[in-house]
Amino acid sequence: TQLLEQSPQFLSIQEGENLTVYCNSSSVFSSLQWYRQEPGEGPVLLVTVVTGGEVKKLKRLTFQFGDARKDSSLHITAAQPGDTGLYLCAVPLGAGGTSYGKLTFGQGTILTVHP
């Protein structure tokens, strides 16, 4: 059983559509991060959410941390081909919420946006 369950696994949409990706768990976390990874590249940090109920916006991307800090969502408005990539959620696991470099990742959502 994965600590972080991401859904959907695959998403193929047309340019201009909206979409939401989910990251769920039964555990409570001190913080949660979202990364995007493009083919041939390493993951790039998009956002960190820390407070339950927190909403952060990054241009057309909206991130929300669940009230109970067990889940998170990523909503993309008017998707563009440049949004194509693997979206990963991750949480730090370590004493006191510090990760010492150790993040546990979800399996990811592969998003393809067609022109």
Partner 1 sequence: KAGVTQTPRYLIKTRGQQVTLSCSPISGHRSVSWYQQTPGQGLQFLFEYFSETQRNKGNFPGRFSGRQFSNSRSEMNVSTLELGDSALYLCASSLGGQTGELFFGEGSRLTVL
Q: Which residues bind partner 1 (CB under 8 A)?
A: 30-31, 33, 35, 40-45, 48, 50, 88, 90, 92, 94, 97-108
16 or 94, CB closer to partner 1?
94
φ and ψ of 2, to 5 deg:
-75, 140
Q: Please state the closest distance from residue 5 (CB atom) to partner 1, in A.
A: 12
Q: Please state the closest distance from residue 76 (CB atom) to partner 1, in A.
A: 21
Which residue in 23, 20, 33 sits closest to 90, CA to CA? 33
81 contacts: CB under 8 Å, gap ≥ 6:
15, 113, 114, 115
CA 111 vs. chain centroid, Å, equals 12
Q: Please state the closest distance from residue 48 (CB atom) to partner 1, in A.
A: 5
21 or 90, CB closer to partner 1?
90
36 or 79, CB closer to partner 1?
36
| Phi-psi group of 81: left, alpha or beta (phi > 0 → left; psi -120 to 50 → alpha; rest → beta) | alpha
